[in-house]
Chains A and B, each alone.
Chain A
Amino acid sequence: MNVSIIGVGNTPFGKFPHLTLEDLGFAAAREAIGDAGLSPADIQTAYCGNALASQLFGEFTIGQKILWGLGIHQIPIINVENACTSGSTAFYLACLAIESGAADVALVLGVEKMYVPVKKILDAGEHDLETKLGFIVPGSFAMRANSYMKEYGLRPEEMALVSVKNHQHGALNPNAQYKETVTVEEVLGSPMVVSPLTRLSCCPQGDGAAAVVICRSDKAISYGKKSVQVKASVLLSGGYDNPPHMAQWPTDTRAALKAYQQAGLGPEDLDVIELHDAFTIAEIIHYEGLGLCPQGEGGKLLKERKTWLGGSIPVNPSGGLLAKGHPVGATGVAQIVEIVQQLRGVAGARQVPKAKVGLAHCMGGDLQGDARSVTINILTV
Protein backbone atom coordinates (compact mmCIF):
# COMPACT_ATOMS: atom_id res chain seq x y z
CA MET A 1 0.00 0.00 0.00
CA ASN A 2 1.19 3.53 -0.67
CA VAL A 3 0.40 4.53 2.94
CA SER A 4 2.70 5.43 5.83
CA ILE A 5 2.12 6.31 9.47
CA ILE A 6 3.95 9.52 10.40
CA GLY A 7 2.51 10.38 13.80
CA VAL A 8 1.03 8.61 16.82
CA GLY A 9 -0.54 9.67 20.11
CA ASN A 10 -2.41 8.06 22.98
CA THR A 11 -3.72 8.72 26.46
CA PRO A 12 -3.25 6.34 29.37
CA PHE A 13 -6.11 3.79 29.62
CA GLY A 14 -8.04 3.59 32.87
CA LYS A 15 -10.94 5.02 34.85
CA PHE A 16 -11.01 8.80 34.52
CA PRO A 17 -14.31 10.14 35.90
CA HIS A 18 -13.06 13.73 35.60
CA LEU A 19 -12.27 13.48 31.85
CA THR A 20 -14.80 13.73 29.02
CA LEU A 21 -14.77 12.06 25.60
CA GLU A 22 -13.62 15.42 24.20
CA ASP A 23 -10.74 15.69 26.69
CA LEU A 24 -9.52 12.19 25.81
CA GLY A 25 -9.91 12.51 22.04
CA PHE A 26 -8.38 15.98 21.97
CA ALA A 27 -5.25 14.84 23.87
CA ALA A 28 -4.58 11.83 21.62
CA ALA A 29 -5.26 13.70 18.33
CA ARG A 30 -3.10 16.66 19.35
CA GLU A 31 -0.20 14.39 20.31
CA ALA A 32 -0.39 12.49 16.99
CA ILE A 33 -0.49 15.65 14.88
CA GLY A 34 2.44 17.10 16.85
CA ASP A 35 4.38 13.82 16.54
CA ALA A 36 3.95 14.03 12.74
CA GLY A 37 5.39 17.55 12.81
CA LEU A 38 2.16 18.91 11.34
CA SER A 39 -0.43 21.45 12.33
CA PRO A 40 -4.18 20.75 12.42
CA ALA A 41 -4.59 22.69 9.15
CA ASP A 42 -2.58 19.97 7.35
CA ILE A 43 -5.22 17.28 8.10
CA GLN A 44 -7.30 16.77 4.94
CA THR A 45 -9.72 14.12 6.21
CA ALA A 46 -10.42 12.43 9.55
CA TYR A 47 -12.03 9.16 10.69
CA CYS A 48 -13.20 8.76 14.27
CA GLY A 49 -13.87 5.32 15.79
CA ASN A 50 -16.28 5.12 18.73
CA ALA A 51 -18.68 2.36 19.72
CA LEU A 52 -20.62 3.34 22.83
CA ALA A 53 -21.11 7.10 23.13
CA SER A 54 -24.56 6.92 21.56
CA GLN A 55 -25.65 4.15 23.96
CA LEU A 56 -24.07 5.58 27.11
CA PHE A 57 -24.31 9.34 26.60
CA GLY A 58 -26.76 9.87 23.72
CA GLU A 59 -23.89 11.46 21.77
CA PHE A 60 -23.34 11.26 18.03
CA THR A 61 -20.88 12.68 15.45
CA ILE A 62 -18.31 13.03 18.21
CA GLY A 63 -15.44 13.23 15.68
CA GLN A 64 -16.58 16.71 14.65
CA LYS A 65 -17.23 17.69 18.27
CA ILE A 66 -13.70 16.73 19.33
CA LEU A 67 -11.76 17.95 16.31
CA TRP A 68 -13.30 21.41 15.90
CA GLY A 69 -11.67 22.28 19.21
CA LEU A 70 -8.31 21.46 17.65
CA GLY A 71 -8.96 23.81 14.75
CA ILE A 72 -9.85 21.07 12.27
CA HIS A 73 -12.64 22.55 10.15
CA GLN A 74 -14.16 22.27 6.68
CA ILE A 75 -12.88 18.78 5.88
CA PRO A 76 -14.63 15.41 5.51
CA ILE A 77 -14.94 13.82 8.98
CA ILE A 78 -16.46 10.35 9.20
CA ASN A 79 -17.59 8.64 12.42
CA VAL A 80 -17.17 4.87 12.48
CA GLU A 81 -18.94 2.27 14.65
CA ASN A 82 -17.85 -1.36 14.21
CA ALA A 83 -17.90 -2.68 17.81
CA CYS A 84 -14.39 -3.47 19.07
CA THR A 85 -13.01 -2.84 15.58
CA SER A 86 -14.42 0.71 15.39
CA GLY A 87 -10.93 2.25 15.66
CA SER A 88 -9.20 -0.20 13.34
CA THR A 89 -12.03 0.15 10.82
CA ALA A 90 -11.53 3.93 10.94
CA PHE A 91 -7.85 3.24 10.17
CA TYR A 92 -8.80 0.92 7.28
CA LEU A 93 -11.06 3.60 5.78
CA ALA A 94 -8.39 6.28 6.15
CA CYS A 95 -5.89 4.02 4.33
CA LEU A 96 -8.41 3.65 1.48
CA ALA A 97 -8.81 7.44 1.34
CA ILE A 98 -5.04 7.87 0.98
CA GLU A 99 -4.73 5.02 -1.54
CA SER A 100 -7.53 6.44 -3.66
CA GLY A 101 -5.89 9.86 -3.81
CA ALA A 102 -8.85 11.50 -2.08
CA ALA A 103 -6.45 12.89 0.55
CA ASP A 104 -2.70 13.15 1.10
CA VAL A 105 -2.84 13.34 4.90
CA ALA A 106 -5.47 11.77 7.17
CA LEU A 107 -6.09 11.61 10.91
CA VAL A 108 -7.47 8.47 12.59
CA LEU A 109 -8.86 8.84 16.10
CA GLY A 110 -10.26 6.12 18.37
CA VAL A 111 -11.93 7.25 21.58
CA GLU A 112 -14.15 5.71 24.25
CA LYS A 113 -15.49 6.49 27.67
CA MET A 114 -16.99 3.46 29.42
CA TYR A 115 -16.50 4.28 33.08
CA VAL A 116 -19.74 5.98 34.08
CA PRO A 117 -21.25 6.38 37.56
CA VAL A 118 -24.35 4.29 36.76
CA LYS A 119 -22.96 0.91 35.85
CA LYS A 120 -24.65 -0.74 32.93
CA ILE A 121 -23.97 -4.19 31.58
CA LEU A 122 -23.40 -3.96 27.88
CA ASP A 123 -25.84 -5.92 25.77
CA ALA A 124 -25.02 -7.20 22.33
CA GLY A 125 -28.39 -5.71 21.31
CA GLU A 126 -31.51 -5.76 23.47
CA HIS A 127 -33.75 -6.95 20.63
CA ASP A 128 -31.53 -9.90 19.74
CA LEU A 129 -33.04 -13.28 20.59
CA GLU A 130 -29.81 -14.29 22.33
CA THR A 131 -30.02 -11.31 24.70
CA LYS A 132 -33.63 -12.15 25.58
CA LEU A 133 -32.55 -15.73 26.30
CA GLY A 134 -29.92 -14.51 28.78
CA PHE A 135 -26.78 -14.48 26.61
CA ILE A 136 -24.24 -11.80 27.58
CA VAL A 137 -21.20 -10.65 25.60
CA PRO A 138 -18.58 -12.71 27.53
CA GLY A 139 -20.81 -15.80 27.18
CA SER A 140 -19.87 -16.48 23.57
CA PHE A 141 -16.19 -16.50 24.59
CA ALA A 142 -16.92 -18.77 27.56
CA MET A 143 -18.63 -21.26 25.22
CA ARG A 144 -15.58 -21.09 22.96
CA ALA A 145 -13.36 -21.82 25.94
CA ASN A 146 -15.46 -24.86 26.90
CA SER A 147 -15.52 -26.17 23.31
CA TYR A 148 -11.79 -25.59 22.84
CA MET A 149 -10.87 -27.25 26.15
CA LYS A 150 -13.03 -30.26 25.26
CA GLU A 151 -11.62 -30.56 21.74
CA TYR A 152 -7.93 -29.99 22.45
CA GLY A 153 -7.54 -30.83 26.15
CA LEU A 154 -6.42 -27.32 27.16
CA ARG A 155 -6.47 -27.00 30.97
CA PRO A 156 -7.80 -23.95 32.89
CA GLU A 157 -4.36 -23.29 34.43
CA GLU A 158 -2.83 -23.22 30.93
CA MET A 159 -5.49 -20.80 29.66
CA ALA A 160 -4.86 -18.54 32.69
CA LEU A 161 -1.27 -18.05 31.51
CA VAL A 162 -2.59 -15.57 28.90
CA SER A 163 -3.67 -13.26 31.71
CA VAL A 164 -0.42 -13.84 33.65
CA LYS A 165 1.67 -12.98 30.57
CA ASN A 166 -0.31 -9.91 29.56
CA HIS A 167 -0.37 -8.49 33.09
CA GLN A 168 3.38 -9.01 33.22
CA HIS A 169 3.69 -7.04 29.96
CA GLY A 170 1.22 -4.40 31.18
CA ALA A 171 3.38 -3.82 34.26
CA LEU A 172 6.05 -2.51 31.85
CA ASN A 173 3.65 -0.10 30.11
CA PRO A 174 3.17 3.29 31.82
CA ASN A 175 -0.13 3.74 29.91
CA ALA A 176 -1.68 0.42 30.99
CA GLN A 177 -4.86 0.34 33.11
CA TYR A 178 -3.44 -2.52 35.24
CA LYS A 179 0.23 -2.43 36.18
CA GLU A 180 0.13 -5.25 38.73
CA THR A 181 1.29 -8.77 37.88
CA VAL A 182 -1.02 -11.71 38.64
CA THR A 183 -0.43 -15.42 39.26
CA VAL A 184 -2.26 -18.42 37.78
CA GLU A 185 -3.84 -19.01 41.22
CA GLU A 186 -5.11 -15.41 41.34
CA VAL A 187 -6.59 -15.66 37.83
CA LEU A 188 -8.39 -18.92 38.61
CA GLY A 189 -9.40 -17.77 42.11
CA SER A 190 -10.97 -14.46 41.05
CA PRO A 191 -14.80 -14.41 40.96
CA MET A 192 -16.45 -16.48 38.21
CA VAL A 193 -18.13 -14.36 35.52
CA VAL A 194 -19.18 -16.93 32.89
CA SER A 195 -17.77 -20.42 33.40
CA PRO A 196 -14.89 -21.07 32.85
CA LEU A 197 -13.93 -17.37 32.59
CA THR A 198 -13.12 -15.60 35.87
CA ARG A 199 -12.87 -11.84 36.32
CA LEU A 200 -9.11 -11.85 35.65
CA SER A 201 -9.75 -13.85 32.45
CA CYS A 202 -11.80 -10.91 31.10
CA CYS A 203 -10.59 -7.46 30.03
CA PRO A 204 -11.68 -4.47 32.14
CA GLN A 205 -13.89 -1.53 31.13
CA GLY A 206 -12.11 1.77 30.88
CA ASP A 207 -11.60 5.13 29.21
CA GLY A 208 -8.98 6.22 26.70
CA ALA A 209 -8.07 7.46 23.24
CA ALA A 210 -5.44 6.85 20.58
CA ALA A 211 -4.68 8.55 17.27
CA VAL A 212 -2.46 8.19 14.22
CA VAL A 213 -1.64 10.45 11.28
CA ILE A 214 -1.11 8.74 7.92
CA CYS A 215 -0.01 10.02 4.52
CA ARG A 216 1.05 8.83 1.06
CA SER A 217 4.32 6.89 1.42
CA ASP A 218 5.97 8.88 -1.39
CA LYS A 219 5.34 12.05 0.61
CA ALA A 220 6.29 10.61 4.03
CA ILE A 221 9.95 11.46 3.53
CA SER A 222 9.14 15.16 3.31
CA TYR A 223 7.72 15.07 6.84
CA GLY A 224 11.14 14.04 8.10
CA LYS A 225 9.91 11.63 10.75
CA LYS A 226 10.81 7.98 11.00
CA SER A 227 7.76 6.70 9.17
CA VAL A 228 6.19 3.24 9.33
CA GLN A 229 4.86 1.57 6.19
CA VAL A 230 1.35 0.08 6.04
CA LYS A 231 1.88 -3.17 4.10
CA ALA A 232 -1.64 -4.54 4.47
CA SER A 233 -4.98 -3.37 5.79
CA VAL A 234 -7.84 -5.87 5.77
CA LEU A 235 -11.41 -5.76 7.08
CA LEU A 236 -13.80 -8.75 6.83
CA SER A 237 -17.24 -9.66 8.15
CA GLY A 238 -18.03 -13.20 9.29
CA GLY A 239 -19.18 -16.28 7.38
CA TYR A 240 -21.85 -17.30 9.95
CA ASP A 241 -21.78 -21.04 9.22
CA ASN A 242 -24.26 -23.18 11.11
CA PRO A 243 -23.23 -25.22 13.04
CA PRO A 244 -20.68 -22.58 14.08
CA HIS A 245 -16.98 -23.29 14.63
CA MET A 246 -16.60 -22.88 18.38
CA ALA A 247 -12.92 -23.84 18.73
CA GLN A 248 -11.71 -21.50 15.95
CA TRP A 249 -12.65 -18.33 14.09
CA PRO A 250 -12.59 -19.09 10.35
CA THR A 251 -12.90 -15.32 9.73
CA ASP A 252 -9.52 -14.84 11.48
CA THR A 253 -7.92 -17.32 9.10
CA ARG A 254 -9.48 -15.72 6.02
CA ALA A 255 -8.52 -12.19 7.08
CA ALA A 256 -4.95 -13.30 7.93
CA LEU A 257 -4.47 -15.02 4.55
CA LYS A 258 -5.70 -11.92 2.76
CA ALA A 259 -3.41 -9.65 4.79
CA TYR A 260 -0.35 -11.89 4.30
CA GLN A 261 -1.02 -11.96 0.54
CA GLN A 262 -1.41 -8.19 0.39
CA ALA A 263 1.83 -7.67 2.34
CA GLY A 264 3.80 -10.40 0.54
CA LEU A 265 4.75 -11.68 4.01
CA GLY A 266 3.86 -14.65 6.18
CA PRO A 267 3.50 -15.39 9.89
CA GLU A 268 7.18 -16.43 10.01
CA ASP A 269 8.17 -12.84 9.09
CA LEU A 270 6.46 -11.22 12.09
CA ASP A 271 8.51 -9.80 14.98
CA VAL A 272 5.69 -8.48 17.18
CA ILE A 273 1.90 -8.81 17.39
CA GLU A 274 -0.91 -6.96 19.13
CA LEU A 275 -4.09 -9.05 19.07
CA HIS A 276 -7.60 -8.98 20.47
CA ASP A 277 -7.30 -10.73 23.86
CA ALA A 278 -10.67 -9.58 25.21
CA PHE A 279 -10.76 -12.91 27.07
CA THR A 280 -7.92 -15.36 27.76
CA ILE A 281 -9.27 -18.06 25.42
CA ALA A 282 -9.46 -15.55 22.55
CA GLU A 283 -5.70 -15.00 22.47
CA ILE A 284 -5.03 -18.74 22.14
CA ILE A 285 -7.53 -19.17 19.29
CA HIS A 286 -6.19 -16.04 17.54
CA TYR A 287 -2.63 -17.51 17.56
CA GLU A 288 -4.02 -20.30 15.42
CA GLY A 289 -6.09 -18.02 13.17
CA LEU A 290 -3.00 -15.91 12.44
CA GLY A 291 -1.05 -19.06 11.53
CA LEU A 292 1.49 -18.84 14.37
CA CYS A 293 0.92 -22.54 15.08
CA PRO A 294 -1.34 -25.39 13.93
CA GLN A 295 -4.89 -25.65 15.29
CA GLY A 296 -5.01 -26.94 18.84
CA GLU A 297 -1.42 -25.95 19.63
CA GLY A 298 -1.99 -22.37 20.84
CA GLY A 299 -1.71 -23.46 24.46
CA LYS A 300 1.64 -25.10 23.76
CA LEU A 301 2.99 -21.92 22.12
CA LEU A 302 2.02 -20.00 25.25
CA LYS A 303 3.40 -22.59 27.70
CA GLU A 304 6.73 -22.63 25.84
CA ARG A 305 6.81 -18.82 26.38
CA LYS A 306 7.24 -18.13 22.65
CA THR A 307 4.63 -15.35 22.82
CA TRP A 308 6.06 -13.71 25.96
CA LEU A 309 8.47 -10.78 25.82
CA GLY A 310 11.85 -12.44 25.22
CA GLY A 311 10.22 -15.25 23.18
CA SER A 312 10.41 -15.78 19.41
CA ILE A 313 7.12 -13.94 18.64
CA PRO A 314 5.99 -11.66 21.50
CA VAL A 315 2.22 -11.11 21.55
CA ASN A 316 0.61 -8.11 23.25
CA PRO A 317 3.75 -6.46 24.64
CA SER A 318 1.50 -3.50 25.58
CA GLY A 319 -0.37 -5.70 28.07
CA GLY A 320 -3.16 -6.31 25.56
CA LEU A 321 -6.81 -5.71 26.31
CA LEU A 322 -6.50 -7.76 29.51
CA ALA A 323 -3.98 -5.42 31.21
CA LYS A 324 -3.56 -2.31 29.05
CA GLY A 325 -7.36 -2.04 28.99
CA HIS A 326 -10.13 -1.98 26.40
CA PRO A 327 -11.87 1.35 25.81
CA VAL A 328 -13.71 -0.23 22.88
CA GLY A 329 -13.47 2.49 20.20
CA ALA A 330 -9.86 3.33 21.09
CA THR A 331 -8.49 -0.23 21.11
CA GLY A 332 -8.00 -0.78 17.36
CA VAL A 333 -6.02 2.46 17.02
CA ALA A 334 -4.07 1.90 20.26
CA GLN A 335 -2.87 -1.48 18.95
CA ILE A 336 -1.49 0.29 15.85
CA VAL A 337 0.16 2.96 18.04
CA GLU A 338 1.87 0.17 20.03
CA ILE A 339 3.16 -1.53 16.86
CA VAL A 340 4.48 1.83 15.55
CA GLN A 341 6.31 2.45 18.85
CA GLN A 342 7.77 -1.07 18.71
CA LEU A 343 8.96 -0.59 15.11
CA ARG A 344 10.43 2.84 15.94
CA GLY A 345 12.28 1.21 18.85
CA VAL A 346 10.81 3.58 21.45
CA ALA A 347 8.72 1.09 23.48
CA GLY A 348 10.95 1.34 26.56
CA ALA A 349 10.95 -1.58 29.01
CA ARG A 350 8.57 -3.60 26.80
CA GLN A 351 10.59 -3.13 23.59
CA VAL A 352 10.90 -6.18 21.33
CA PRO A 353 14.55 -6.01 20.16
CA LYS A 354 15.06 -5.18 16.47
CA ALA A 355 11.35 -5.37 15.59
CA LYS A 356 10.90 -4.66 11.86
CA VAL A 357 7.52 -6.27 11.05
CA GLY A 358 4.44 -6.00 13.25
CA LEU A 359 0.81 -7.09 13.01
CA ALA A 360 -2.27 -5.64 14.71
CA HIS A 361 -5.38 -7.85 14.88
CA CYS A 362 -8.77 -6.79 16.16
CA MET A 363 -12.16 -8.49 16.33
CA GLY A 364 -15.61 -7.06 16.89
CA GLY A 365 -18.95 -8.50 17.91
CA ASP A 366 -20.43 -11.96 17.74
CA LEU A 367 -23.24 -13.17 15.51
CA GLN A 368 -24.42 -16.76 15.05
CA GLY A 369 -21.23 -17.96 16.75
CA ASP A 370 -18.92 -16.05 14.39
CA ALA A 371 -17.13 -12.68 14.48
CA ARG A 372 -19.01 -9.74 12.98
CA SER A 373 -15.81 -7.94 12.10
CA VAL A 374 -12.08 -8.74 11.90
CA THR A 375 -9.32 -6.28 11.00
CA ILE A 376 -5.67 -7.06 10.35
CA ASN A 377 -3.01 -4.43 9.69
CA ILE A 378 0.61 -5.31 8.91
CA LEU A 379 3.23 -2.59 9.42
CA THR A 380 6.96 -2.55 8.58
CA VAL A 381 10.02 -0.32 8.78
Chain B
Amino acid sequence: MTKTIQDGLWQEELGVSSLKGSQCPQCESKYFPERKVCPKCYWDKLSTVLLSGSGIVFSCTQVFIRSKLISEHPYTVGYVLLEDGITVPARLMGDKDKLDIGLPVSLAVGVTGKNSEGEEVIGYYFQPPEEVEA
Protein backbone atom coordinates (compact mmCIF):
# COMPACT_ATOMS: atom_id res chain seq x y z
CA MET B 1 0.00 0.00 0.00
CA THR B 2 1.31 3.44 -0.93
CA LYS B 3 2.35 5.61 1.96
CA THR B 4 1.01 9.10 2.63
CA ILE B 5 3.03 12.18 3.60
CA GLN B 6 1.24 11.96 6.95
CA ASP B 7 -1.68 9.75 7.97
CA GLY B 8 -5.03 11.19 8.97
CA LEU B 9 -4.87 14.40 6.94
CA TRP B 10 -7.78 13.65 4.60
CA GLN B 11 -10.56 11.16 3.93
CA GLU B 12 -12.26 10.00 0.79
CA GLU B 13 -16.00 9.53 0.47
CA LEU B 14 -17.76 8.66 -2.79
CA GLY B 15 -14.61 9.58 -4.72
CA VAL B 16 -14.34 13.03 -3.15
CA SER B 17 -11.39 13.80 -0.89
CA SER B 18 -11.67 16.28 1.98
CA LEU B 19 -9.14 17.52 4.48
CA LYS B 20 -9.96 16.50 8.05
CA GLY B 21 -9.87 19.27 10.62
CA SER B 22 -11.08 19.87 14.16
CA GLN B 23 -13.69 22.29 15.37
CA CYS B 24 -14.06 23.54 18.91
CA PRO B 25 -17.76 23.29 19.97
CA GLN B 26 -17.17 26.09 22.49
CA CYS B 27 -15.44 28.86 20.47
CA GLU B 28 -16.12 27.43 16.97
CA SER B 29 -12.47 27.79 15.89
CA LYS B 30 -11.35 25.34 13.22
CA TYR B 31 -7.91 23.73 12.97
CA PHE B 32 -5.94 21.71 10.45
CA PRO B 33 -4.49 19.15 10.98
CA GLU B 34 -6.73 17.79 13.75
CA ARG B 35 -5.96 18.78 17.35
CA LYS B 36 -7.01 17.27 20.66
CA VAL B 37 -7.29 20.51 22.65
CA CYS B 38 -8.37 23.97 21.46
CA PRO B 39 -5.37 26.35 21.83
CA LYS B 40 -7.77 29.29 22.15
CA CYS B 41 -10.13 28.14 24.92
CA TYR B 42 -8.50 24.91 26.13
CA TRP B 43 -11.67 22.87 25.41
CA ASP B 44 -10.71 19.22 25.00
CA LYS B 45 -13.72 17.73 23.23
CA LEU B 46 -13.12 18.89 19.67
CA SER B 47 -15.15 17.38 16.85
CA THR B 48 -13.74 16.16 13.56
CA VAL B 49 -14.99 18.22 10.62
CA LEU B 50 -14.44 17.89 6.88
CA LEU B 51 -13.05 21.12 5.49
CA SER B 52 -14.09 22.78 2.27
CA GLY B 53 -12.16 21.61 -0.78
CA SER B 54 -12.18 25.11 -2.29
CA GLY B 55 -10.37 28.29 -1.45
CA ILE B 56 -8.03 30.95 -2.75
CA VAL B 57 -4.24 31.22 -2.66
CA PHE B 58 -3.54 33.28 0.48
CA SER B 59 0.17 33.51 -0.30
CA CYS B 60 2.68 31.36 -2.14
CA THR B 61 6.29 31.04 -3.27
CA GLN B 62 8.27 29.06 -5.82
CA VAL B 63 11.10 27.06 -4.24
CA PHE B 64 14.23 26.92 -6.43
CA ILE B 65 16.38 24.90 -4.01
CA ARG B 66 16.58 21.29 -5.24
CA SER B 67 14.63 18.93 -3.00
CA LYS B 68 15.34 15.24 -2.40
CA LEU B 69 11.63 14.69 -1.81
CA ILE B 70 10.12 16.64 -4.72
CA SER B 71 11.27 16.21 -8.34
CA GLU B 72 9.35 19.20 -9.73
CA HIS B 73 11.71 22.20 -10.14
CA PRO B 74 10.92 24.79 -9.11
CA TYR B 75 7.91 23.71 -7.06
CA THR B 76 5.29 25.91 -5.43
CA VAL B 77 4.04 25.91 -1.83
CA GLY B 78 1.70 28.28 -0.09
CA TYR B 79 -1.17 28.88 2.27
CA VAL B 80 -4.70 28.34 0.95
CA LEU B 81 -7.55 30.29 2.55
CA LEU B 82 -10.44 27.81 2.62
CA GLU B 83 -14.11 28.75 2.46
CA ASP B 84 -14.14 27.69 6.14
CA GLY B 85 -12.15 30.88 6.88
CA ILE B 86 -8.88 29.24 7.91
CA THR B 87 -5.65 28.80 5.99
CA VAL B 88 -3.92 25.47 5.43
CA PRO B 89 -0.34 24.92 4.25
CA ALA B 90 -0.19 23.13 0.91
CA ARG B 91 1.74 22.20 -2.18
CA LEU B 92 0.33 24.07 -5.19
CA MET B 93 0.29 22.57 -8.65
CA GLY B 94 -0.71 23.86 -12.07
CA ASP B 95 0.42 26.65 -14.37
CA LYS B 96 3.22 28.44 -12.50
CA ASP B 97 2.56 31.72 -14.28
CA LYS B 98 -1.01 31.75 -12.97
CA LEU B 99 -0.39 30.60 -9.38
CA ASP B 100 -0.63 33.86 -7.48
CA ILE B 101 -2.30 35.41 -4.45
CA GLY B 102 -6.09 35.44 -4.84
CA LEU B 103 -6.31 32.63 -7.41
CA PRO B 104 -9.22 30.19 -6.72
CA VAL B 105 -7.95 26.64 -6.14
CA SER B 106 -9.39 23.21 -5.31
CA LEU B 107 -8.15 20.25 -3.34
CA ALA B 108 -6.74 17.14 -5.00
CA VAL B 109 -5.01 14.02 -3.67
CA GLY B 110 -2.24 12.18 -5.48
CA VAL B 111 1.48 11.51 -5.69
CA THR B 112 3.33 14.63 -4.50
CA GLY B 113 6.87 13.28 -4.10
CA LYS B 114 8.94 10.83 -2.12
CA ASN B 115 9.63 10.19 1.55
CA SER B 116 13.09 10.12 3.10
CA GLU B 117 13.40 6.40 2.13
CA GLY B 118 12.88 7.29 -1.54
CA GLU B 119 9.41 5.70 -1.79
CA GLU B 120 6.60 7.49 -3.64
CA VAL B 121 4.13 9.11 -1.28
CA ILE B 122 0.57 10.34 -1.66
CA GLY B 123 -0.18 13.84 -0.47
CA TYR B 124 -2.76 16.55 -0.89
CA TYR B 125 -2.33 19.61 -3.04
CA PHE B 126 -4.36 22.46 -4.46
CA GLN B 127 -4.68 23.52 -8.10
CA PRO B 128 -6.85 25.84 -10.21
CA PRO B 129 -10.30 24.19 -10.68
CA GLU B 130 -10.15 24.16 -14.50
CA GLU B 131 -7.06 21.94 -14.31
CA VAL B 132 -8.72 19.31 -12.11
CA GLU B 133 -10.44 17.57 -15.03
CA ALA B 134 -7.44 17.76 -17.37
Interface residues of A (CB under 8 A from B): 121, 126, 129-130, 132-136, 139, 142-144, 146-147, 150, 191-196, 240, 242-244, 246, 369
Q: Given A133-B123, A195-B64, A369-B79, A144 and B59 touching (CB < 8 A)?
A: yes
Binds A, one of B10-18, B41-49, B80-88: B80-88
What are the nearest 6 A-B pairs in CB distance?
Answer: A142-B61, A143-B59, A195-B62, A147-B59, A132-B5, A192-B64
The reply to whether B64 and A191 form a contact with Cβ atoms under 8 Å apart is: yes
Q: Given A133-B89, A135-B89, A121 and B101 touching (CB < 8 A)?
A: no
In the bound assembly, the distance between CA atoms of A193 and B66 in angstroms comes to: 10
The reply to whether A134 and B81 form a contact with Cβ atoms under 8 Å apart is: no
In the bound assembly, the distance between CA atoms of A246 and B77 in angstroms comes to: 15
The reply to whether A133 and B62 form a contact with Cβ atoms under 8 Å apart is: no
Total chain B interface residues with beta-carbon distance under 8 A: 35
The reply to whether A139 and B61 form a contact with Cβ atoms under 8 Å apart is: yes
Interface residues of B (CB under 8 A from A): 5-6, 9, 29, 31, 33, 39, 58-65, 67, 69-70, 74-75, 77-79, 81, 85-87, 89-91, 101, 112-113, 116, 123
Interface residue from A130, A150, A194, A242 paired with B65 (Cβ < 8 Å): A194
A259 to chain B, nearest CB (A): 25
Interface residue from B5, B59, B63, B116 paired with A246 (Cβ < 8 Å): B59
> What are the residues of chain A within 8 A of B33 when measuring CB–CB?
129
Interface residue from B63, B70, B85, B86 paired with A139 (Cβ < 8 Å): B63
In the bound assembly, the distance between CA atoms of A65 and B77 in angstroms comes to: 41
Q: Given A132-B5, A133-B89, A135-B89, A121 and B65 touching (CB < 8 A)?
A: yes
In the bound assembly, the distance between CA atoms of A191 and B65 in angstroms comes to: 10
- Which residue from chain A places its CB closest to the CB of B116 in the assembled complex? A126
- Which residue from chain B places its CB closest to the CB of A132 in the assembled complex? B5
Interface residue from A134, A191, A192, A369 paired with B69 (Cβ < 8 Å): A134
Residue of B29, B61, B91 contacting most chain A CB atoms (<10 Å) = B61
> What are the residues of chain B within 8 A of A133 when measuring CB–CB?
5, 77, 89-91, 112, 123
The reply to whether B87 and A369 form a contact with Cβ atoms under 8 Å apart is: yes
- Which residue from chain B places its CB closest to the CB of A196 in the assembled complex? B61
B73 to chain A, nearest CB (A): 11
